[in-house]
Each structure stands twice: as C-alpha cells, then as structure tokens.
Structure 1
Amino acid sequence: MKPTLEDLLEGVPAQEGNGGQLLARGVSASKAKSSEPATPLDRTTENAKRVLGDEAQARAEKTAQLKAAREERDASRKG
C-alpha cells in the first residue's frame, strides 16, 4: 500500500496564515519561464540567431584551420 499525502504530512505542523491548509503555489511553472520567448515570432528569431551563430563559429574554425595550413605550407617552402 502506497502512503497518501495526508500520511506523509501527518507529522508536519500546520502552516500559519492559511487556516492550516497547504499553501498554494505562488507562480505557475509556465509563468516562471519568463526568459523564454513569448510569441512564435520570438521563438523563430531565437532559433535563427542560434543557427547563424553556430554557422559563424564553424566558419571561424574552418578559417583558422585553413590559415594554419597555409602558414605551414608557406613555411615549408621557405625552409
């Protein structure tokens, strides 16, 4: 037999200021996520910025690799 909520709360003293009832949640889970975009357009904009940022980072890494390879090639031709 699984314990009920009342069984688990049996030893817990009554809460003050609410007539001994359990306190209601002050903020809903959906409202707590205020940092997330609210509209579909905001979500689309955020996703587009993330994709563009990822592509820019990949491009910068590739450019750095090509530059290093070019410098190595030029150094081996001179030496």
Structure 2
Amino acid sequence: MDAETRDGILYWFLLAGLRNRYSGSTDTRLGQDIPAAREPEPVKHLLTNLGVVGSHVEVTPQDLAGKTRESAYFTLSYLVCKDAGAKD
C-alpha cells in the first residue's frame, strides 16, 4: 500500500470514529464500507460513504467540551499530542 492510501485510510478511520460511523446500524455500514475498501480508490469511496468528499472537516472547541476518555475525540487528541512529541 502506498503512503497516500495508508494516510487516507487512517484519516477515514479517525473521522469515522468522530462521526460515530459504527454506533448505529453496523451491518448496513459494514455492507457499504467493505466493498468500498476493495475498490481501486478505496479512500475516495470510504470518504464518500461518510459524506465528506469535497467538504472541510474541522474540530472546534465546542466539539471537545465535556468529552471524556470514551470519546473518539480523546483518541484523536492523544494521537495529535503524541505526534507533537508530548510525553506522559
């Protein structure tokens, strides 16, 4: 897998978590995402399934307010801090 595809899938994975993609009807979502992942351009198809192709995704302070460690935002925040060199 090339680096662009790898990074795109990671982006999709994090965004799917933030959007609670699999918190509801999991079978339906998997039925959409598994075939999309097998397409020649998997990232494009997966992001289309999320409805974010051509849109700007932004995390605001309001998105983070009141969130706990169970939130997908916690995982995202942890990864951003780790990438920036933060130490526990």
Q: Which has the larger radius of gyration?
A: 1
- Output the TM-score relative to the length of structure 1: 0.24
- Output the TM-score relative to the length of structure 2: 0.22
Structure with greater contact order relative to length (CA < 8 Å, sep ≥ 6)? 2
